[in-house]
Amino acid sequence: MDQEEGSTTVDNIVTQFNTYEDFLDSQITTLDLYYLEDEGLARQLVELGYRGTGEVVKREDFEARKAAIEIARLAERTQKKTLTSAGKDLHDNFLKALAVREEDNRSGIVSLNQQEADAAHTLKKQLAESSARGKSVIFIRDRNSHGQEVSGYIDYAHRLKIEDFEVYFSGKKRLLPRPTDMSFYNWDSHVAVWNSTPNYQVIADNPEGLLFKYKRDRKILNVDPKAQPGDNSTRTPIQTELYIQAVIFDHVSRRKT
């Protein structure tokens, strides 16, 4: 039996039995109990592989896989609860584009720690795919509430973490760049601000223009429309009625698993 078949067998056993003791008991026959006269001893023999009617599964394998299933289930349930775009009737292309990217950009909020993720990775394909999670940078140019033209780059994942996007997806407010975002420029007052975020380091002194370095894989994102965005990055202009201009840059970090 190869490793994949063995993993499938353990998964089936873990799904079928609530505890490891329940699994052991299922392998014990009435004849075993008759001769051994000790349920605890019978369980030990099954665990060691000397008795039993099926596959030998180690306690640590059973418990690790059981924990991984629970972690994956909780993560999936939490993820569904945190998607503020879910169920919204979105009409504008910009909001639709944000909704499509919300889950990947929220992955850091509900992500598992490395040990948990490694266990869940072997269990569910959807967690295996988390090795390629996208992080988006949003460029917006429009007028603020004072009629001033402003523009800037927004770390979508970071804003999702610190702000409730319900007001944006419901249409109550418009998402606009702030002086606390990755970059902010007021075209009337000529105020320019740059800030690194938990995801991106701002490189503002580049003679060819503004650059962002993704901290996880150290890849450079070039936001110059005349240049290529960089490795594992894409640039998508959004046709929208909400803003003068909107562009979304998507960077995919491919970590080793």
pLDDT at 162: 93
Q: Where does the pLDDT of residue 92 fall: very low under 50, low under 70, confident under 90, or very high at 90 and above?
A: very high
More confident residue, 84 or 51: 84
Question: Are the CB atoms for 74 and 113 separated by under 8 Å?
Answer: no
User: What three-state secondary structure class fits 87?
Assistant: coil
The predicted structure's pLDDT at residue 64? 83
Q: How far apart are CA 10 and CA 5, in angstroms?
A: 9
Look at residue 114 and tell me whether its pLDDT is greater than 70.
no
Q: Is 125 exposed, middle or buried (0-12, 13-18, 19+ CB in 10 A)?
A: exposed
From the list 131, 125, 122, the residue with the least C-alpha distance to 6 is: 122
Winning range, highest mean pLDDT, from 55-69, 94-108, 219-233? 219-233
What is the percent of the chain where pLDDT is above 90?
A: 49
pLDDT surpasses 80 at 50:
no
Tens digits of per-residue pLDDT, 133-178? 579 999 999 999 999 999 999 999 999 999 999 999 999 999 999 9
Mean of the per-residue pLDDT values for the chain?
80
> Over 70: is that where the pLDDT of 49 sits?
no
Token pair listed for 86 = 């879910």
- Residue 70 is predicted with a pLDDT of 79
Residue 10 has φ and ψ, to the nearest 5°, of -60, -40
Which runs of consecutive H residues, i.e. helices, occur in the chain? 3-16, 20-26, 30-36, 39-48, 59-82, 93-106, 114-121, 125-128, 156-162, 166-169
> Rounded mean pLDDT of 41-45?
70
pTM of the model: 0.62
User: What CA–CA distance (Å, rounded) separates 77 from 89?
Assistant: 22
pLDDT above 60 (res 122): no
Does pLDDT of 123 surpass 90? Answer: no
**Predicted confidence band at 37 (pLDDT cuts at 50, 70, 90)?**
low
